[in-house]
Structure 1
């Protein structure tokens, strides 16, 4: 894109105000933010990463990151849920930018109103993209039937296509990890098990697959298990980590803004002045700002590298896992400090800061988790661990 991109051109203040107002209700009632999705769909948000010639906004990952930061500041759960749809449209863009049209149907579908969910996570599977406990059974027509259980399936009540992976152990050349998309049918069972501490509006319920069939034209990749240079793995890992980092960076910014607002309004009985003039509060807010200010430039630089098809090196995966790890740990630290600035009122569940305090915890569980991030970075700097 040329010129300076203004996120408010797609997410105007009045839309964000409505989304922020509803966020507390969905958190309290443990419900999916359908009104948010409807308004975002009407604004073309589901197709922001789709090329204009296919009916989208033609934005890059860097612009999508700014939008997700802005949306997360209003409603973290809504932003995180939409993130999973944007991951697939982002992967489609990454592949298309590199001359691979395997996911053009995702771009066209997003422009037409399809909602894509992310079905990769499995309980106990710390291999994540490099392995799967879901069985992928080949079908005579080239499709696959998937049987297994996926966890943390955001957008559970509304998705129309589930992008997932499973392991084919029977075809010639097996084993192969199969990446494909299945529609919502009776072979897909969504459990009503989403009752969590935070990020309640994502409705990231458990999904049971009982022979759910991906047609042949929705089977996009068959790759060996384990680390692979295949573009599908590069695309998923890069887009997933960068957009996750964006959401939690947006939470950090909102917590910082609330802390500043509270400090300016909260009077001190001891001095008669606002807490904004208290040297300890000023130091605390400065610490928050110093931590937050480092995140947006890091994320933008990595997004630009992906958008511009810049050459990658052996440390690319450590860059991606590293920025996600820094974003979520920084966001948690900033929210902690904001709660201290605001005082006891933030401990009530009706408090926005109280909700952010709960929502931000989810970041620690997304891949790459702290153990995986440290392992990846250690390998980049020290080489593989010896057996």
Structure 2
């Protein structure tokens, strides 16, 4: 049973999706196994690569599918209805290819090679997150040491490196303090090498199949050809920052909206399946309290897909919103992830005690949705961004 969404909504792409119903069913059938065994979904990646998933953002004339952010967000929402952790892991590849497209669309071909590599089958991962770094893209604890040939060595610890078992290109950044008065944030891509160590430390409550292990960098070498930005430390208006931020926030929102959609579907199924002795065997779908709860979940869910579509479409249309982009993007991420938590909670209450069984799909969604709390921008950072936009910054 599926939930009816408004025409053009994010989840309504079955007829035209890269992931057809048969493939989606296979991916769904494997999700519980990967969650239980804490393993990476290699079969999902293989089949999605064959379907063209890794090259969605690449233009047609470069061998890609020519999709914009709006279409890719729809695809990610659909995939997340089957396997949220698979979708979340692939988000990291799509953030880099989406950023390359944002730049290319705006006349900057500095990451065009990323799109070509994606078409060739390379897998890009996101190695920017660091424990205790609440500056996110505006500061780094990783040391970037310049080399005579224009390359850099990177030394530091990156956390939440999704796609750890399979990536072939790792985007990282670090701080170059060669000039203490003008420190730089250096962005580059690494390949697998002795200076890059992946720990086997991903044993978590949520999104287990993403295998977002810790990565230790020890003088990891990025050649000059793969160093693509050297920006002043602190906030930056460089289009790279916008590209990363826009793709990350929209695609995270899309994944959790797919999770929310699936939870709502499972709640509807449970309401029709469960019967009440008190009501002479009638299904709970006729019970007014259950109907209210499912309606509440539906109301919570159905406003998010159009917001994702509208914001993604604005990115594709090259809208120039300046600083107004950032409160809009963080607001979308927070609304989507918080809405998904509410929907899953309603769905769990409707489904009854069986939902807490270890084999329950809804129980897995209840765990997975918690991870939405921790993706940038978190609740505190997002509120600070929006407060600054509405009220101005607090004077120092």
Q: Secondary structure at the match of 1:314?
A: helix
Structure 1 length as normaliser, TM-score? 0.97
C-alpha contact 1:122 1:150 (8 A) present in aligned 2: yes
Give the drift of 1:173: 7.5
- Could you list the runs of 5+ residues in structure 1 that have no partner in the other structure? none
Q: Does 1:345 align with 2:322?
A: no
**Secondary structure, counterpart of 1:363 in structure 2:** helix
Instruction: State the distance in 2 between where 1:348 and 1:374 align.
Output: 36
Change (3 A) 1:301 1:14: same
1:39 aligns with 2:47: yes
More off after superposition, 164-173 vs 253-262: 164-173
Aligned residues: 384
SS in 2 for 1:207: strand
Within 5 Å, which residues of 2 pair with 1:314-329? 314-329=323-338
How does 1:268-287 map onto structure 2 within 5 Å? Answer: 268-271=276-279, 272-287=281-296
Matching of residue 175 in structure 1 with residue 186 in structure 2:
no
Q: How does 1:187-206 map to 2 (within 5 A)?
A: 187-206=195-214
Instruction: Give 1:94's match in structure 2, choosing from 80, 84, 102.
Output: 102
Structure 2 counterparts to residues 224-243 of structure 1, below 5 A: 224-243=232-251
Match of 1:330 among 320, 327, 339: 339
Tell me, in whole angstroms, the C-alpha distance in 1 between the residues paired with 2:164 and 2:356: 30
After TM superposition, the structure 1 stretch with the greater mean CA deviation from structure 2, 169-178 or 157-166, is 169-178
Question: Which residue is equivalent to 2:305?
Answer: 296
Residue 80 of structure 1, CA deviation:
0.2
Give the structure-2-normalised TM-score.
Answer: 0.95
- Deviations along 1:123-145, whole A, 9 cap, x unmatched? 00000000000011111111111
Distance 1:325 1:6 in 2: 24
- Asked if the contact 1:103–1:220 (Cα under 8 Å) also holds between the matched residues in 2, the reply is yes
Query: How many angstroms apart in 1 are the aligned matches of 2:55 and 2:159?
Result: 25
Counterparts of 2:82 and 2:229, CA distance in 1: 36
Q: Does 1:140 align with 2:148?
A: yes
Q: Deviations over 1:62-108 (max 9, x none)?
A: 00000000000000000000000000000000000000001011100
Report the Cα distance in structure 1 between the residues aligned to 2:363 and 2:243, rounded to whole angstroms.
34
- After TM superposition, what 4+ stretches of structure 1 lie above 2 angstroms from structure 2? 4-9, 171-174
Question: Does the aligned pair in 2 maintain the 1:138–1:171 contact within 8 Å?
Answer: no
Partner Cα separation in structure 2 for residue 29 and residue 344 of structure 1: 23
Aligned to 2:369: 360
Aligned to 1:264: 272
Is residue 24 from structure 1 mapped to residue 21 from structure 2 by the alignment? no
Offset at residue 313 of structure 1 (A): 3.4
Corresponding position: 1:370 with 2:357: no
How far residue 314 of structure 1 moved from its aligned partner, in angstroms, is 2.7
Which of 96, 104, 110 is the matching residue for 2:112?
A: 104
- Write the distance in 1 (CA, Å) between the matches of 2:192 and 2:182: 27
Unaligned 5+ segments in structure 2 are 1-7
Which residue number in structure 2 is paired with residue 253 of structure 1? 261
1:158 and 2:157 aligned: no
Residue 223 (structure 1) aligned with residue 231 (structure 2): yes
> Structure 2: how far apart are the matches of 1:112 and 1:171?
39
The reply to whether residue 208 of structure 1 matches residue 221 of structure 2 is no
- What is the aligned counterpart of 2:67 among 59, 75, 78? 59
Mapped pair 1:13 → 2:21: yes
Q: 1:292 to 1:348 in 2, by over 3 A?
A: same
* d(CA) in 1 for partners of 2:128, 2:332: 21
Deviation of the 1:268 alpha carbon: 1.2
Contact 2:17 2:75 in 1 (8 A): no
Shift of 1:172: 9.2
Preserved contact between residue 13 and residue 78 of structure 2 (Cα < 8 Å): no
Distance in 2 (alpha carbons) for counterparts of 1:268 and 1:376: 48
